[in-house]
Amino acid sequence: MQQLPETLRENVRLLGELLGETIREHEGEERFAKIEDIRQLGKSINQSENEDSSALVEMLGELDDSDILPIVRAFNQFLNLANMADQEYSSSAEAEPEDGLKTMVLDFAETYGKENLLEVMQNLSIELVLTAHPTEVTRRTLIRKYDQIVNTLSDQQRGNLLSFEKDKVVGRLHRLVEEMWSTDEIRGERPTAVDEAKWGFAVIENSLWQALPDFIRHMDRICSRHLGQNLPIDLQPFSFYSWMGGDRDGNPNVTHDVTREVLLLGRWMAAELYLGDVQSLYGDLSMHEASPELREFVGDSETPYRDYLAPLRSQIQATLDWAEASLKGEEPPRPKNLIESRDDLLAPLMVCYRSLKEVGLPHIANGPLLDTIRRVHSFGINLVPLDIRQDGERHVKVMDELTRHLDMGSYFEWSESERQEFLLNHLKDKRPLLPADWPVSDEGREVINTCKVIAGEPRETLSQYIISMAQQPSDVLVVALLLKECGMSWNMPIVPLFETLDDLDRSAEVMELLWQLPWYKEYTGAKQTVMIGYSDSAKDAGKFAATWAQYKSQERLVGLAEKYGIDLILFHGRGGTVGRGGGPVEKAMASQPPGSVKGKIRVTEQGEMIRYKFGLPKVAFSSFSTYVAATLRATMQPHEAPTDEWRDLIERMAQASLEGYRRVVRGHPQFVPYFRSLTPEQELGLLALGSRPAKRKATGGIESLRAIPWVFAWMQVRLNLPAWLGARQALEFALEQAPSTLNDMVDNWPFFSSFLDLLEMVIGKADGPITAYYEKQLVPEELHPLGQQMRADLAALEVLINRIKRQDELFDSDPILRQTLSVRKPYIDPLNYLQAELLKRHRSGKPFSEELERALKVTMAGISAGMRNTG
């Protein structure tokens, strides 16, 4: 079996030893020995041929209650430390000995010409939307310690360290591990929406603020050296947006007051960061030579740049003071020099930049000053312009209340054509429609108040208004009318989100009706973003059928956009897990329909994935490189459209998969009780997770459960059901009906081969015997046949994957991943067995101590860490 890279193995070994020493010091030799016995037994079981876990179950069953919490904490912390070693290695020079982006640029320049490549690179637009994570388990305090450990591991890799320096690094690691061990892993209080937004701002401050200008400088250097031209100074390959504080879909905790506060926080944080930059520039730009343009402002000053930057520094300080006082609930007077747009920051910085270039100081011009200019272009005046998201049903209810109040009938009962006619008439009418005072419900008033907050904010602080569960053109038009009536002075982009299978199938029809409306085309300026929902479509139809529906929807939307002359951006609502559309960026981009990228893409990055991809500057730099390379490839080397044979076969495969999925999830009378008894779905409430409730509605069954906790629950018991259920029926159908076409798809269609790779990964992370143990402990015997059926499906699917990929076992083409999973298994398995036992006790109705409840929560965190995903 291929071994993990030497550096990675050494780091895992070192962190494991430091954790062991810490446990021995704090918990005593006897308890440490128990942990070691469990670890060694798990390891030997994993390496044996029959993998009989009965001895491990027996050993765990003999533990005293007082031992359980320290033991689950030990395994949880080891898995977190392994993740840190992975994170450090994946962003290291050793993991990527050559610059993949430079290699691609050289290749593409030769193939497509330097000018064509330059044009694409100059117009790249990769929009990353930061969203909160309702199943982010780890406390922020510990996340900061994890980051420090990764940075310290990086320090250790530096060559030529003296002996005392090496000891110092190891000592610091030991201290951080001890700090981890002495800190409670589980949050005691649920974070608010504002807390989540603060965490998003912290990622920018601690990582992206430095990583982004570093990366753009790197891109510029590549283009200068290998394409013969620098990139423009206003290059903005990445833009960041946020849902934190703006996403009110099913989250009553996000109110108009919360949105206002988060917008203020963004302006305060941005002002603080820009003030730091300008203070630093004030110190750096001490030179005397200046251009006539700059001299016109400062005269014959000895320090012209400092004198010129002084008013900007005062302006930023005034903005900072105003935002801070406003956040405290005061009502400070609005400063005359308040920063309201990027130009307020850019104009003086650009005068300095041009002056330095003009007087022959280009290296100074292109130093930190250029970094600050690029930050302004990328982060604007509030770091992350806010998206507003609301369920489309809420707008319908508001309009129904209004039409009833005005004795115009029931908007709810009107046909789609009647709704459109009403909305368009009032959108064109200059007279107000909303009464100054009317008996609107609390829910309706919140919608109206949100629109009023949006209308009162500077344009640059906001991005788009997203409508969840969009189903008709009127769902878009009604938002435009509500915004108009609340005083909106600019045309905020309105983005329909198509989520269920039916909505995806109808998405092109809905957009064509909208694009045929002259009023709407004028409103949009022929620019449109459409959001494709991954999470809810997979929950609705199963992963296979949903993935094909997403592909078809994008294909049709791209074709229609070309027909109507629309500049279309597809917004991918991808979650962290494969079951919610997640997975490696390269595979995701390679599987997009041809023509759907064109140098522009918008993607959600969620909670834990923000941490894994962007939490540290070096990691963020690597992620930027991956995104740019993948976007360039998808733009310049789009794959051919599927052949008619492929299209016909996958359509029938998707139907077989849909029937197989829904036959279990919707059709099997025992599925809901099986799910609720097997998984810790009900116990999720013990965890102080995100600000958003686990369900969209307080009442309702699985259909109302959000896709994230749905995936989280199945992942905990190692079945990973949402990511593969229904795939067996699809693959069996293809093997029976058209095996040669299936082989052709595997070999020549990246969309399909990428899907199989992701399917292989989730199957490899699943563990049927572990799930069977949960079933034995927690599920009534009469429900066991359903579990046996699902595990048989999983086992059969593994055989099918290996057969179709023409390999002997999973991960033949990725032995490193196989080894990684194998290394983690002895640490995850004991957490699963103990979690099943703790769930059984918790549900028994007998006394359950606070210590055991905490142990149950830690098992959830540990399994999440071991599987490298939550929801």
Q: Which residues are catalytic?
A: 133, 539
Say how far apart CA 93 and CA 83 lie, in whole Å. Answer: 18
Residue 299 half-sphere exposure, CB side, CA atoms within 13 Å? 0
- DSSP-derived secondary structure for 663-701: HHHTT-TTHHHHHHHHSTTGGGGGS---SS-SBSSSS--
φ, ψ (nearest 5 deg) of residue 661: -65, -50
Closest CA to 802 of 754, 731, 736: 731
φ, ψ (nearest 5 deg) of residue 776: -60, -40
Say how far apart CA 184 and CA 200 lie, in whole Å. Answer: 22
Residue pair 853/72 in contact by the 8 Å Cβ criterion: no
Buried residues in 819-847 as b, exposed as e (16+ CB within 10 A): bbbbbbbbbbbbbbbbbbbbbebbeeeee
CA triplet 122, 125, 130: central angle to 5 degrees? 145
Residue 15 in 3-state DSSP? helix
Say how far apart CA 615 and CA 202 lie, in whole Å. Answer: 9
**Identity (one letter) of the amino acid at 852?**
L
Residue pair 723/543 in contact by the 8 Å Cβ criterion: yes
Closest CA to 186 of 863, 646, 869, 860: 860
**Identity (one letter) of the amino acid at 315?**
Q
Q: Where on the phi/psi map is residue 538: left (φ > 0), alpha (ψ -120 to 50), or beta?
A: alpha
CA triplet 464, 625, 812: central angle to 5 degrees? 110
CA distances from 371 to 207, 237, 306 (A): 14, 14, 18
* Gap between the terminal Cα atoms of the chain: 31
Q: List, in order, residues 6 or more apart from 329 with CB less than 8 Å away.
A: none
Which two three-digit tokens encode residue 116?
């064509």
- CA dihedral sign, ordered 870, 186, 771, 32: positive
Partners of residue 695 on adjacent β-strands? 705
Dihedral angle at the C-alpha atoms of 600, 590, 530, 659, nearest 10 degrees? 180
Token pair 């079951």 is found at 579
**Identity (one letter) of the amino acid at 63?**
L
Length of the chain: 871
Closest CA to 258 of 132, 174, 148: 132
Token pair 């969840």 is found at 468
Partners of residue 186 on adjacent β-strands? 138
Residue pair 53/45 in contact by the 8 Å Cβ criterion: yes
Which two three-digit tokens encode residue 753?
């081969």
Which two three-digit tokens encode residue 870?
């939550």
φ, ψ (nearest 5 deg) of residue 127: -100, 120
Q: List, in order, residues 6 or more apart from 262 with CB less than 8 Å away.
A: 193, 194, 197, 244, 245, 246, 386
Q: List, in order, residues 6 or more apart from 496 with CB less than 8 Å away.
A: 466, 467, 470, 475, 476, 507, 510, 511, 530, 531
**Identity (one letter) of the amino acid at 88?**
E
CA distances from 121 to 225, 448, 570, 637 (A): 14, 41, 19, 14
Which two three-digit tokens encode residue 749?
């269609």
